[in-house]
Amino acid sequence: MRTQVGIIGSGPAGLLLARLLHLQGIDTVIVENRSRDYVLGRIRAGVIEQGMADLLREAKAGERMDREGLIHEGINIAFDGRLERLDFPEHTNGKVVMVYGQTEITHDLMKAHIDEAGGIVHFDAPAIKVEGSDTDSPRILYEQNGRRRELVCDFVAGCDGYHGVARRSLPADKIKTFEKTYPFSWLGILSDVPPVMDELLYAHHARGFALCSMRSHTRSRYYVQCNTDDNVNNWSDDAFWDELRRRLPSDTADSVTTGARLEMSITPLHSFVAEPMRFGRLFLAGDAAHIVPPIGAKGLNLAASDVYYLARALLAYYKEKRTDLLDRYSDTALRRVWKAIRFSWWYTSLLHKFDDDPMSRRLQISELDYLTASDAGQTMFAENYVGLPFEKFE
C-alpha cells in the first residue's frame, strides 16, 4: 500500500494532522495500535488554548467545542489560607482558554475524518518500525490481523506518543534526549458532580497539591498529589474526597459535591524532550517527541502546535515544491516546546510538596504571594497559561 503521508497513531496529533492535510487534498493513512473504542475511552487533558481551538476550527472539527466548551477567563490559586484569582484577558489582550475534554476532541476528529470524510485509519494495527527515513520512500511496517504489512509513503509522521515506535526506530546516536522525573504522581477522579467553583482551582497545601478541574457544568475532574508507588486500589471514593477536601480552603471544601467515580487513575509526572524532531522524511509530533507534567495542561496543546507547523510545512511541499519549511520544522517546534517544558516545570515546582523542609514551603508561599500581587507576575503567568503564540511559519 502507498500513501503521501503515513501517520502512526490516532491520538489528537495524528488525527488533527490527517484532517488538516485531507482538507488540502493530501492523502494520508493512519495506523493505530488500539481499537477505536479504546482510544475514545482514554480520559486525559481538559484545557484547550486559543491556538489549538483555532486549529480545530480550521480542521472543521470545532463546531461542538464552540457549542459545548466552557470559556474560562482565569484560574484560582489557594495557598496559606488565601484564595486568589488570576485573570487572563486583562493580562493578555483579551485571551481566554476553553475547557473541553481531549476525549471529546478525539471523538469530533474521528467523526469528521473517518465517518464523514472517509479518511483511512487502520485500528488494531500496531506499527513495528519505520524503515528508510533517510530515503525518498520511507516505509511503516505494521501488523494487521496477525499479518505483516508495509505502508510506503512520501513522508512519515510519528504521532505515536511517548511509548511509540517512531522515535525508537532511529539510531540512538541520532537523537539527544532530556529527561526529568518528579518524586510524586497525580491521583485523579472523574465524577458526574457539578464543579466546586466556576473556574479551575489549583491548591498549594502542606499535605500536597490538589486541583479542581471540570469537563462540563455537571462533570468534574479532581486531582490530588500522591506517592509514586501509590495504587488506585488503595483509594476508595470516600478516601479520595476526604483527602481532596483537606487540601482546599475550608469554605470551598464544604461546598464540594461528592459522587461515585466514573474513572480513577494515577499519572506519573515527568518532563522529556527528544531532539531533533525530524530525521530525513520522518517527523515526530506530540508526545512522541516530548512530555510535560500535567499541570498547566500543556501536553495536548503542544501536540497541536507541532501539527500546526508540520501541516503547513507539508502543504508548502505539495503545493509549492518548497522544502524550507520542512527543514525548519524541528527548530521552530522545539522553541515552543521548550517554553512549555519550562512553564510546566516551574508551575509544578511552585505548587507541589517535594519534602518536609519548612524553608522550601515558605519560599513557595512567598513566590505565590509575589505572583498574585505583581502585575508582571500575573502577566507572565497568564500569557503562558493561555498559550504562547504560534510563530509565523510561511
Determine contact, residues 57/81, Cβ cutoff 8 Å: no
34 binds, among ligand DHB, ligand FAD, none (CB under 5 to 8 A by kind): ligand FAD
Shortest gap between Cβ of 319 and ligand FAD (angstroms)? 25
Q: Which of 221, 290, 352, 361 binds ligand DHB (CB under 6 A)?
A: 221
Q: Is 318 a catalytic residue?
A: no
3-state secondary structure of 41: helix
Paired sense of beta strands 120-122 and 28-31, if any: parallel
What are the φ/ψ torsions at residue 337 (nearest 5 degrees)? -55, -50
Please state, in angstroms and rounded to a whole number, the distance separating the CA atoms of residues 45 and 338: 19
Known active-site residue 113: no
Pairing of strands 210-214, 220-226: antiparallel
Helix (H) or strand (E) holding 8: strand 2-8
Complex with ligand DHB: residue 50 or 332, whichever CB lies closer = 50
Q: Does the protein bind ligand DHB through residue 200 (CB under 6 A)? A: yes
Closer CB to ligand FAD, 232 or 365, in the complex: 232
Among 45-53, 110-118, 129-137, 238-246, the segment contacting ligand DHB (CB under 6 A) = 45-53
DSSP for 72-89, please give it.
E-EEEEEETTEEEEEESH
User: Concatenated DSSP letters for 280-335?
Assistant: TTEEE-GGGTEE--STTS-HHHHHHHHHHHHHHHHHHHHHH---HHHHHHHHHHHH
Q: Return the one option of ligand FAD, ligand DHB, none that residue 97 interacts with (CB less than 5 to 8 A, by type).
A: none
Among 5, 7, 13, 77, binds ligand FAD (CB under 6 A): 13
Closest CB to ligand FAD among residues 64, 129: 129
Residue 206 per-residue DSSP state? T
Shortest Cβ 48–ligand FAD spacing (Å): 9
Angle at 176 between CA 175 and CA 179, to 5 degrees: 130
Which of ligand FAD, ligand DHB, none lies near 200, with the C-beta cut-off 5 to 8 A by kind?
Answer: ligand DHB
Using alpha carbons only, what angle is made at residue 63 by residues 9 and 188, rounded to the nearest 5 degrees?
55
Q: The cell 511509540 sits on which residue? A: 164
Catalytic residue among 122, 298, 352, 353: 298
Which of 18, 26, 47, 315 binds ligand DHB (CB under 6 A)? It is 47
Task: Note if 202 is an active site residue.
Answer: yes
* Piece of 81-89, 145-153, 162-170, 384-392 that binds ligand FAD (CB under 6 A): 162-170
Quote the cell numbers at residue 351. 505548587
The one-letter code for the residue type at 109 is L
Beta carbons of 10 and 30 less than 8 angstroms apart: yes
The 8-class DSSP code of residue 378 comes to H
Task: Pick one of 11, 74, 101, 293: the residue that binds ligand FAD (CB under 6 A).
Answer: 11
Residue 9 binding partner per list ligand DHB, ligand FAD, none, with a CB distance cut-off of 5 to 8 Å that depends on partner kind: ligand FAD
Q: Which of 202, 222, 223, 347 is catalytic?
A: 202
> What's the length of the chain?
394
Determine the interface stretch with ligand FAD among 175-183, 297-305, 345-353, 365-373 (rule: CB under 6 A). 297-305
End-to-end CA distance of the chain: 31
Which range binds ligand FAD by CB under 6 A, 43-51, 145-153, 321-329, 350-358? 43-51
Find cell 520542512 and name the residue.
Answer: 326
Q: Report the partner that residue 267 touches, choosing among ligand DHB, ligand FAD, none (CB closer than 5 to 8 A by kind).
A: ligand FAD
From the list 222, 308, 329, 385, the catalytic residue is: 385
Query: Which residue's C-beta sits nearest to ligand DHB?
Result: 46
DSSP 8-state class, residue 53: H
Q: Could you say which residues in the range 120-159 bind ligand FAD, by CB under 6 A?
A: 126-127, 159
Active site includes 100?
no
Say how far apart CA 272 and CA 295 lie, in whole Å. Answer: 15
Give the residues lining the site for ligand DHB (CB under 6 A).
45-47, 200, 211, 213, 221, 294-297
Catalogue the active-site residues: 72, 202, 294, 298, 385
Give the residues lining the site for ligand FAD (CB under 6 A).
8-14, 31-34, 39, 44-46, 102, 126-127, 159-161, 163-165, 267, 286-287, 294, 297-300, 303
